[in-house]
Structures are given as C-alpha cells and as structure tokens.
A and B are shown apart, each in its own frame.
Chain A
Amino acid sequence: MVENSSFSSQKELFDKGTLSVEECVNSFLNKINERNNLNAFLEVYSEEAIRRAKEIDQKIKAGNQGRLAGMVIGLKDNIAFKGHKFSASSKILEGFESQFSATAVERLLNEDAIIIGRLNCDEFAMGSSNENSAYGPVSNHLNEDYVPGGSSGGSTVAVGAGMCHVALGSDTGGSIRQPASFTGTVGFKPTYGRISRYGLIAYASSFDQIGPFSNSIEDAALVSEIMMGKDEFDSTLSNKEVPNLSDLNTHSVKRIAYIKEIFEDDGLDQEIKNQCNQLIEKLKSEGFEVEEVSFPYLDKLVPAYYVLTTAEASSNLSRFDGVHYGHQSKNAEGIDEIYKLSRSEGFGPEVKRRIMTGTFVLSHGFYDAYYSQGQKVRRVIRDKTNEIFQSYDMIIGPTTPTTAFKKNAVKDPITMYLQDIYTVHSNLSGNPSISIPFKNHSENNMPYGIQLMADHFEEKDLLAFSKYLSTIID
C-alpha cells in the first residue's frame, strides 16, 4: 500500500476488485500499529473495522455499494459514534459512551465508509498544538520533535502518516487548517451551518464546524458533499442546496485578494511570506487579477475570538458537572463538592483557563465591556469580509505565520493563541476556508500550507480552485 494514499486514487482498485477493502483496512491497521508512538489514536476499532470491511467487500461484489465503499475514516474524539467511547480527550468524560452517532457520521456510514478509530485532540478542542490532551500529546509524523498543530492533531497525523484515508476534525478557530498546514495535509472548513453539528461536542457553538482532513482535494470534496446539508437535529443549519462538490474541473475564480495586514505582519515568517508572494505573482502571470486589500482588524481577530468562544465554552461545558455522567470525584461530599472537585479534577488547565475567561466576560458588570464588544467586532469583521467578497472571488494567504514548532516550545498562552491569527478570521465571519499543502521550509524541512477563503456557501469554487492551485504549486 502506498503511503499517504488517498481514497480517490484507490477507488478504482476497489471497484475492479484488485484491492479488497479488507486488505486496505489491514494495511492501515499495520500502519497504526507501526506508528503507535505518535499517539494519534485514542482507540482503534480493529475487529469492528475488519468485520465491516468484509461486509463492504461483499457489497462491492454484488455491485450495491455506497459512494464511500472502501473509504477508511478516523474520528476526532469530539464527534459522536454510537456505542463507542467519547471523551473529547478529557478525563471528565471518563468511561462515557455515546448513545447516538453524529449526523455527519451517520451519513458517512450510510455510504459505506468504515470508521477505524477515534483520534486524539486537544481537550475539548482547545489548543493549537495538541499538547492539551488528557491522554498525552500527539507527535508530528514528519518529525516527532514537532507538534502536529491543534486542536485536531490526531486527525491530521492519522491522515498524513497513512493510518486512514480521511479523518474528521472540527474547526472553531483554525483547528483543522492549522494542523493541516503543520503536517502537509488538506484541511477543509466548510461554511458555518453547512455540516450538522449534531453529535459534535460543542466548544463554541457559533464558530464550530466539522470538516475533513485528507491527502487529496477530491477526498475532501467527496466526504464534504456527503456530510453537508439540512438536518432536523441542527436548527442553525442552512437550507441551501448542496452543490456537486466532487466535480472539481471548473471554477469561476477571476479576482483574488490578499490581505495587506497579513503580509505586513511581523509575526509572519519571511520565507513563507516570500513564497506566498511568488505564488501571487504566478497567479497574476496565469491571468488572475490578484490585488492587495486592507483589512485593518488583524489585531482584533484573536481578542474577539477568545472573548466570544470562551463565553460560549463556559456555558457549553457546564453540562460536565460530575452529576450525570463521566468523572465524579471520589472525595466529594455534597452537591457543591461534587461540582467543584469533579470539575477541578476532570478538566485540564487550558480548559479551566477558558471556562474562567468565559465566565468572566459574561459576568454582571463586565458583559458590556467584553462580550457585547466582542459581538460588535464580530459584526464589523463579517460586514467587512462580505464587502471584500463583493469585489473578489477568493482571499489567499498563508495558513499560519510559521511552520510547526517544537513540543514544549510555546509556553505562554497568548503566544499560543496567536497561532490562530490567520485562521480565526473565517470562523468569526463564517466563511468556508481551506488549507492545502504548499512548501517545506528550508530551515526545518517542515511543511506549511496556503489558505484560501471563499464567500459564504461557495465551497464548490473554493475546492475547484484549490485543485487548480495545487497543480501550479511546484
């Protein structure tokens, strides 16, 4: 089996019978075993996956297989899969099993995808390095001294290291695109409201979006198309019809913007900047109109993001109270102690920090100064972004200011939060955005990605243009 293989490159082999799904699953299981030290998987569903592979091989023989027959998928541990453990990489959900599957997972299973296991991530998807998991950090498969990014670190490593075709992640401020950039995979965050959040453990409900990691844009398009669309279980979902995303041959992109403030950002690595500039020149030479636009809110993005997401998180995580399920402190006497001790013991330091921050910004007397202000900034960002898309089809730029950093290298939370400076924009505004592999850095030979953002619900153009862009990146 080829390393870093994509489903799109193998589909024909399955259909012809040259490669059985069972063989494919076994080879992924071997790889998972071989690279166990990366700590990408929290649990591998070996037997279940093999059993299902056999069933799907029968279906392929009978010719009644679904569109994802043969696709092997890993799930970030914040996406529900019925009858399986479900922890968001947190001790507070110790022993908890989900009684239902996320809508996205149901749809993949209906098309005969195989779920191979659940993947490590930052606890409750809070982090940019996957160092916040209660089950230990995930290592970057390209160099184990480096972080894979976060919060969907396990997902990107599983795909990048060839442990599955596709992995689902969730992106609240860059948790799909930043790790994709750090590990050389494709990471796609659809428009907010495109894929049902039912079954995704909420971090910040008005930001969260499920999306895929893959080794090809074809795979990202195929699984997204299947997961997207109306779901009665998520009232915030759009009713917009899902276009045929898998057709990547044509796009209507003509005018492309890049944000001046990003290219003037001191935090942006010089080499990444130069490479981005060269790519822009190349696009110009290919006949695109590529122009600089001013977006003078770069320094507002991360603060607004942290005020609003922590506010929502402080409320979303209230249900983990030690009373109904998950970890309950053995030392607690009386209800107040059950709350205080269970939560103190169950949550890690970053989650506690965000719950406290969120509680503070919603508190009486501080709400107007923080939460209301954050909402105002969010509205301005949304309006300004819409304005850009009135004149341009796409915004292009680096996904991250730097490549992956070494483990334990970033200790200051604020510095860590600034990792998301280019990615949070589309979560604040709700736009679809993707990171595709771009280059390897000359200093550490670690990869970095290029980020594209499109207008709301323009995923078809976004993916087709990404496909095109990947062909002109040398």
Chain B
Amino acid sequence: MDFKEELLDKYEAVIGLEVHIQLNTKTKAYSSDRYKYGDSPNSDVSVISLGHPGTLPRFNKQVMNYAVKLGVALDCEITEKMNFARKNYFYPDLPKGYQITQDLTPICTGGAVKIKDEKGNDKLVHLTRIHWEEDAGKSIHDLDPFNTLVDLNRAGVPLLEIVSEPEIKSSEEAYNYLYEVRKLVRYLEICNGNMEEGSLRCDANISVMPKGSDTFGTKVEVKNMNSMRNVQKAIEFEIRRQIIANETGEEIKQETRAYDALNNRTLSMRSKESDNDYRYFPEPDLPIIRVSQEYVSEVKETMPPLPDQLYRKFTEELKLSDYDSKILTDSKEVALYFEELIQHNTNYKSCANWLIGDIKSYLNDKAIELEEFPVKPEAIAELVRIIDEGKVSNSVASQKIFPLIVENPEKSALKIAEENNLVQDSDEDSIKDYILQVFENNPSEVERYKGGEKQLVGFFMGQLMKVSGGKADPKSANKLIRELLEQ
C-alpha cells in the first residue's frame, strides 16, 4: 500500500527520545585517561579503561558537576543519594563485560526541555530521568575485510543519557527538541554537541495510534541516526511505516530498528525477545554518592547564562524582536558577544543589526567562527556610537569603515573615519553651500519640484552626496533641502 498524506490526520504519533551526550571532561568517567576524538586507535587508554584484572573504577567529580549543571538547567530534581549499577553484556568493545551506569537512582529526575511545537508555540517536553554512564569503545567493521577491529579510546568516556517522556508528537518536534538540547549542552560547555562525531547520539521510541485513542500502539526503537536531519527523516519514515501497517492490519513488532540513511528507511535489527538480560545490580566498586543541597546551590551560583534566560532578556528587557533574539541566542558565542557589545552601547537594536547583519555576513564570507573574528565588541560599539552621533552615515560605516576596522582591529572607528576623511558634515552652513550648488546645477528639477513633484527630494539628496563626497549628514541635509526649496 502506498502512503497517502491524508492518513497523517487519522493518526497520532507518540515519540520519546533518549539522547546520549558525551561529556568533554578532562578525564574519563572512572579513570584518569584523557580522550580526544580522532586520536590514533587505542592510545587514550590505561589499565583501568582496558579493564585489566585487578583494576577498579575511580569516581570523576567533574562528571558530577556537569550532571548537576544539566539537571539545574533543565529544572530537574537532583537525587541526593545515588549509587551506580552494572549493566552486564558481552561485546568486544566493552572491556569489562559490563557498563557502569545508574539504574534505580539516576542523578536527575523530572525537569523539561522547552521547545517550539509545529505551530511555533512554546511546549514543554518533560523528562523521565538523566543518568550517568560510561561509553563503550568502538567496533570497526569496515576497515579490515576479515576482522572486526576494536578501538578502546572511547571506552569509559562519560555520558549523560537524557530520557524524555513520550510527549513528542512529530519529527519536527523531535528535531526542535534535539536542537534545544544541543544548544543547551553547548551553552553549558559540557559537550560539543557534534552528532557526526557521535558526541551527541539519539535513539527514538516511536509508536502510532488512531487520533483520540487512549491506548498506545506498539513501541519501536530506532537507532543509528547520526545527524539531526536523519533523526527527523527516520522518524518521518517510521511513522509512515507504522501507519501503513495499521491500515493494512499488519502486526507492528516490538523491536529495535536501524535507520538506513542511504535509502531513507528503517530496518529491523533485533526483536525485544532476543534482548539481553542485563542483570543490573549495584556496582560494588563504587560507594554511594551523596549530593548535598550546598553542592547543588554552589553549582547554581556558578551557572553560565542560558539561552532561554537570554532570549527572555533580549525580548522583554531590550525589546528586541523575537526573530533577532532567536538569532542572537542561537549560539553562546554570538549571545556573549552581543552581551558585551551592549555593555558599551545601549542602542540595542543597532547593535543587534550590526551583529546579525554585517558581522555575520563577514563571517559567512570568510567561513570563520565568531571566535576568530578579530574585532572586539568595544570597537563595534564605537562604530554604532559615531553613526548615532551623525559623524558617519550608516552606509559609509558599513561599506567603508567596517572593512577597515576588520583590517585594523586595534584602531578606533572614529580614528579610521577621520584618517580616511569619512567624517560627515553636519554643519548647516557647509551643507547649505553644497545644496545651493546642486540647485544651480539642476535648475529644471528645482522648477519641477516647485511645480509639485515632491519626490525629487531623493534626487537632490543623491546629487548632494555626490558633490559632498558622501560626507553630508543625510538627516539634516534632507531637512535643509526642503526648507530651501519651500522658501
């Protein structure tokens, strides 16, 4: 049966996401090994991460700090007394034969991620839990034709798994959810959020049911999606596959499916019956950890600004548009640049325009990040100031001064304007001279204006800019032209 779009109206999708974020802590979760993506295979290891006989895990306090930060940012409840658990299964990239994770006492419970729903309205996706665990190594199946190779660099790298309630209704919401989570972990600087490198991973639990039904359909878990777009596409595919199955009376099996990005489809990986019995039990090598209220308060006090807070500040306090505020808070670097910019100049709208406009397009042209942009926020603030003071026009600032500032980031905007003879004349007498010169050169236009063609002001302005070399302050010039013509 072919899928018809109108079937989407008949069904409701129920989606829960499990997002793994790989923490960029200095050392691994239970050893002092460092880890860097791309290091040569099996170089970021020690006897502990290799699981040699006699080794024991060591508790990494930084992981705790990161987990509490994330929990605080998402408004979760932080578990006061928690322990670790072993999840037992055999796999070549799991050197101990078990993963140290959390079972009954995840570090965070509750909380929510604020996303935009399909109509653009705010929606809270609630969280079941966030727990702490360690990553496995990597099995590489495609480098050697006969053997699977194992790289244990990643083994023991700390992960936080964020489990959402099944409150996501569409692939677009899933995308928005991931977008918000990625933005947040980048703001918190606990994870680089890179899905291609596997620093952020997502599994989706998907089911469909007829609209209005109160019984959930059979849940299918989809894995192996290595970009946000793929998550969206995999969910779209899976929803359609399940709707077709419902329509044709085919049974939906409770199973794990893998997304095949090449053919944009999901394929059965394993059924739930063949799932391992993980035999969770309390990890005897690590003590019970107590997270004190004081510790949580300390973390709260040292929290960096969060995108949602900044968004509210920009829209409510600074009266910027939703659009501008969204762009300004999309990345922490931009938001912090803006925050510094407005320390030096309170023309928020102009500052925002400069950042979103000229600076962003410069970065795009050069294909660089804001961190690499050489001009300090103070210099941009000064540029905005001399425009506001009428010393230079917007267009001169944008076309002539800005490129010069980028080349001489240490020089002040005003100095550059002066050196290049770009400071505009707002002195009425000298502007008047230029205007009279324009009138003299264009007598017939003067007559036509007087005959009622008022739109010729624009023409005179253009001529004025020509004769003055762009230095006439447009505001006062405009006023003066009208006055002189009306006399």
**Residues of A near any B CB (own CB < 8 A):** 78-80, 86, 88, 93, 96, 98-100, 102, 197-202, 204-206, 232-236, 311-312, 314-315, 317-321, 323-325, 335, 339, 359, 362-364, 367, 371
Interface residues in B280-308 by Cβ distance below 8 A to A read 280-281, 284-287
Among the 9-residue stretches B84-92, B408-416, B447-455, the one with 4 or more Cβ atoms under 8 Å from chain A is B84-92
Give the residue name and chain of the A residue nearest to B89 (CB): A318
25 intermolecular pairs with C-beta atoms under 8 Å apart: A93-B53, A96-B53, A98-B52, A197-B56, A198-B55, A201-B54, A205-B285, A233-B58, A236-B285, A236-B286, A315-B86, A315-B97, A315-B98, A318-B97, A318-B98, A319-B53, A319-B95, A319-B96, A324-B50, A325-B52, A339-B90, A362-B88, A364-B277, A364-B279, A367-B281
Closest to A93 in B: B53
* In the bound complex, CA of A441 to CA of B53 (Å): 40
Residues of chain A lying within 8 A (CB to CB) of residue B166: none
Residues in A with CB closer than 8 Å to B210 are: none
User: For A318, what are the chain B residues with a Cβ–Cβ distance below 8 Å?
Assistant: 88, 90, 96-98
Instruction: Report yes or no: A319 in contact with B92, Cβ–Cβ below 8 A.
Output: no
- In the complex, what residues of B have CB within 8 A of residue A317's CB? 97
| Distance of A21 from chain B, by nearest CB (Å) | 28
Query: In the complex, what distance in Å separates the CA atom of A197 from the CA atom of B90?
Result: 24
| From A100, A201, A312, A339, contact of B47 by CB (8 A) | A100
**A102 with B95: in contact, given A206-B284, A236-B284, A315-B281 (CB under 8 Å)?**
no
Measured between beta carbons, the chain B residues less than 8 angstroms from A371 are: 281
CB–CB A235/B58 < 8 A: yes
Within the complex, the shortest CB–CB distance from A131 to chain B, in Å, comes to 22
Contact A324 B86 (CB under 8 A): no
Nearest Cβ in chain B — how far from A85, in angstroms?
12
Interface centre among B47, B90, B95 (most CB of A within 10 A): B90
Bound-state CA distance A78–B53 (Å) is 9
Extra pairs beyond A98-B52, A319-B97 (14, CB < 8 Å): A98-B53, A100-B54, A102-B54, A198-B54, A202-B285, A205-B284, A235-B57, A235-B287, A311-B281, A312-B281, A315-B97, A335-B148, A339-B90, A362-B88
* A200 in complex: contacting residue of B54, B58, B88, B287, CB < 8 Å: B54
User: Contacts of B280 on A, CB cut-off 8 Å?
Assistant: 362
Expressed in whole angstroms, the Cα–Cα distance for A453 and B279 within the complex equals 34
Chain A residues with CB under 8 A of B58: 232-233, 235
Q: Which residue of B lies closest to A335 (CB)?
A: B92
B87 (CB) vs chain A CBs: closest residue: A315
Q: Which residue of A lies closest to B286 (CB)?
A: A235
Q: CA A316 – CA B347 in complex, angstroms? A: 64
CB distance from B193 to the nearest CB of A (A): 30
Q: Which residues of A contact B237 (CB under 8 A)?
A: none
Residue of A nearest to B91 (CB): A335
In the assembly, what is the distance between CA of A208 and CA of B285, in Å? 11
B53 contacts A315, C-beta separation under 8 Å: no
Partner of B88 from A93, A232, A315, A335 at Cβ < 8 Å = A315
B337 part of interface (Cβ distance < 8 Å): no
Please state if A362 and B54 are interface contacts (CB–CB under 8 Å): no
What is the CA–CA distance of A190 and B325 in the complex, to the nearest angstrom?
64
Distance (whole angstroms) from the CB of A260 to the closest CB of chain B: 32
User: Which residues of B84-118 are within 8 A (CB) of A?
Assistant: 86, 88, 90, 92, 95-98
- Docked CA distance A93–B148 (Å): 23
Q: What's the Cα separation between A339 and B88 when bound, in Å?
A: 14
CB proximity of B89 to chain A, nearest CB, Å: 8
User: Least Cβ distance of A366 to chain B in Å?
Assistant: 10
Instruction: Report how far A367 CA is from B96 CA in the complex, Å.
Output: 22
Kindly state the separation between the CA atoms of A319 and B97 in the bound complex, as whole angstroms. 5
Residues in A neighbouring B97, C-beta threshold 8 A: 315, 317-319, 321
Partner of B56, one of A93, A233, A323: A233
- Taking CB atoms, residues of chain A closer than 8 Å to B281 are 311-312, 315, 362, 367, 371
Complex CA gap A312/B86 in Å reads 10
Interface residue? B198 (CB, 8 A): no
Question: Are A88 and B53 in contact (CB-based, < 8 A)?
Answer: yes
Whether B90 and A363, one on each chain, are in contact in the complex, defined by CB atoms closer than 8 angstroms, is no
Give the residue name and chain of the B residue nearest to A364 (CB). Answer: B277
Q: How far is the CA of A38 from the CA of B52 in the complex (A)?
A: 30
Closest to B57 in A: A235
Q: How far is the CA of A320 from the CA of B54 in the complex (A)?
A: 12
Tell me whether A362 and B285 are in contact in the complex, defined as CB-CB below 8 angstroms, given that A235-B59, A319-B51 are known contacts.
no
| Contact call A235/B92, Cβ cutoff below 8 A | no
Which residues of B in the span 124-167 have a Cβ within 8 Å of any Cβ on A? 148, 150
Instruction: Please name the residue on chain B nearest to A204 by beta carbon.
Output: B284
Q: With the chains together, A42 CA to B389 CA distance in Å? A: 90
Q: Is B53 a contact partner of A324 (Cβ separation < 8 A)?
A: no
Q: A318-B96, A319-B95, A321-B97 are in contact. Are A235 and B54 (CB under 8 A)?
A: no
Check B279–A363 contact: CB distance below 8 A. Answer: yes
Contacting residues, chain B, for A311 (C-beta < 8 A): 281
Task: Report A-chain residues with C-beta under 8 Å of the C-beta of B148.
Answer: 335
Q: In the bound complex, what is the Cα–Cα distance between A312 and B56 (angstroms)?
A: 14
Taking CB as reference atom, which chain A residue is nearest B51? Answer: A319
- Return chain A residues, CB-CB under 8 Å to B95: 319, 324
Known contacts being A236-B284, A324-B50, is A198 close to B92, with CB within 8 Å? no
Q: Mark B56-68, 1 if CB is under 8 A from A, else 0.
A: 1111000000000
Q: Is the CB of A321 within 8 A of B90?
A: yes
A159 to chain B, nearest CB (A): 22
Distance in Å: Cβ of B68 to nearest Cβ of chain A: 19
Contact partners of B59 in chain A: CB under 8 A: 235
Question: How far, in angstroms, from A96 to B54 measured CA to CA in the complex?
Answer: 13
Residues of B near A102 (CB, < 8 A) are 54
Please, which residues of chain B bring their CB within 8 A of the CB of A202?
Answer: 54, 56, 285
Distance from B57 Cβ to chain A, minimum over Cβ atoms (Å)? 7
Q: Which residue of A lies closest to B289 (CB)?
A: A235
Partner of B285, one of A79, A80, A201, A235: A235
- Cα of A32 to Cα of B221 in the assembled complex, Å: 62
- The chain A residue with its CB closest to the CB of B277 is A364
Query: Which residue in B47, B56, B86 is a CB contact (below 8 Å) of A99?
Result: B47
Kindly list chain A residues whose C-beta atoms are within 8 Å of the C-beta of B47.
99-100
Alpha-carbon gap, A99 to B56, bound state (A): 14
The complex places the Cα of A232 from the Cα of B285 at a distance, in Å, of: 13
